Amino acid sequence: MYRVLVVATGGDPDPSLLRALDEEGLAHATVRDLGALAQRHQAGEVDAVVVDLSASEPQSAVRVGGRCRELGVPWLCALPSQRLAAYSPAWGADDFFLLPPATGEITLRLERHLRAGDPASQGQPILTAGDLVIDPERYEVSLRSRRVLLTFKEYQLLWLLASNPGRVYSRGSLLEQVWGYDYLGGTRTVDVHIRRLRSKIEDPGHSYIETVWNVGYRFRPQDAAREGRWKAEAGQL
């Protein structure tokens, strides 16, 4: 479900950490520097960061934490038990866990933070728009009965737009509601995520997100979308 970037600035990450990520079904990759972290985030490949303190020094965690706050990405510390006494809340980590982690612990800790600002809360109904189905209880999206793999930000963006079909959101509004007021990225972030989202849920016969030029975006009401498609097929457009 989530894409985790493991930061290990001083060597290979702890095998128990990688094994736990695999067992919990969390997609993951390992990097050793902040430049790679930023590149992965720009490519839309990061939902959360885990800094492995068995393969990184505390000062590295502080630097990574500062960058994560700039990017608006939650981050956790993975601590070997012998380093627990050295852990400091001043590092700014959203959470931490000991190595080896308990079964399912990483996912639970990630969800605690990733879902905290999510507009889809428990009890929300399943949204259906044509062949697109959004399940807020399971945080899953499917198109024509096939699951669509989205990053967490892509999911949040889709949920916000699809929950209010026809409503136009400015880029600034989407940035504030999905990324938060303290996010330092520009509105281009919204355009990049919209483009990726469209590439995953749209094709020539299915259009869901409309660009409102010089303003922002809206989720197209599907009655209007079907009517437009019928006219196009009949040669009326």
Distance CA 187, CA 216 (A): 10
Q: Of 56, 81, 114, which closes a domain?
A: 114
Inside any domain, residue 120 = no
Q: What are 103-119's pLDDT values in tens digits?
A: 888 988 887 777 655 54
Tokens of 198: 């469209």
Mean pLDDT of 203-220: 89
Task: For residues 156 and 65, state if they share a domain.
Answer: no
Domain of residue 165, CATH code: 1.10.10.10
Task: For residues 96 and 137, state if they share a domain.
Answer: no
Burial class (CB in 10 A: 0-12, 13-18, 19+), 144: exposed
Task: For residues 110 and 132, state if they share a domain.
Answer: no
The reported pLDDT for the residue numbered 56 is 77
Inside any domain, residue 122 = no
- Among 60-69, 89-98, 123-132, 193-202, top mean pLDDT goes to 193-202
Q: Of 114, 143, 173, which closes a domain?
A: 114
Task: For residues 97 and 142, state if they share a domain.
Answer: no
For the chain, how many structural domains are there in total?
2
Regarding pTM above 0.85, the answer is no
DSSP secondary structure code for residue 33 in this structure: S
Task: For residues 169 and 76, state if they share a domain.
Answer: no
* Neighbour count for residue 148 (Cβ, 10 Å): 18
Domain that holds residue 53: 3-114
Domain of residue 31, CATH code: 3.40.50.2300
Kindly tell me if the per-residue pLDDT of 231 is higher than 50: no
Q: What are 19-62's pLDDT values in tens digits?
A: 999 998 888 999 888 788 888 877 778 889 999 988 778 888 88
How much is the mean pLDDT over the chain?
81
Inside any domain, residue 66 = yes
Mean pLDDT of 193-203: 90
Kindly tell me if the per-residue pLDDT of 140 is higher than 70: yes
pLDDT tier, 237 (very low <50, low <70, confident <90, very high otherwise): very low
Concatenating the DSSP letter of every residue in 171-223 gives: HHHHIIIII-TT--S-THHHHHHHHHHHHHH-BTTB--EEEETTTEEEEPPHH
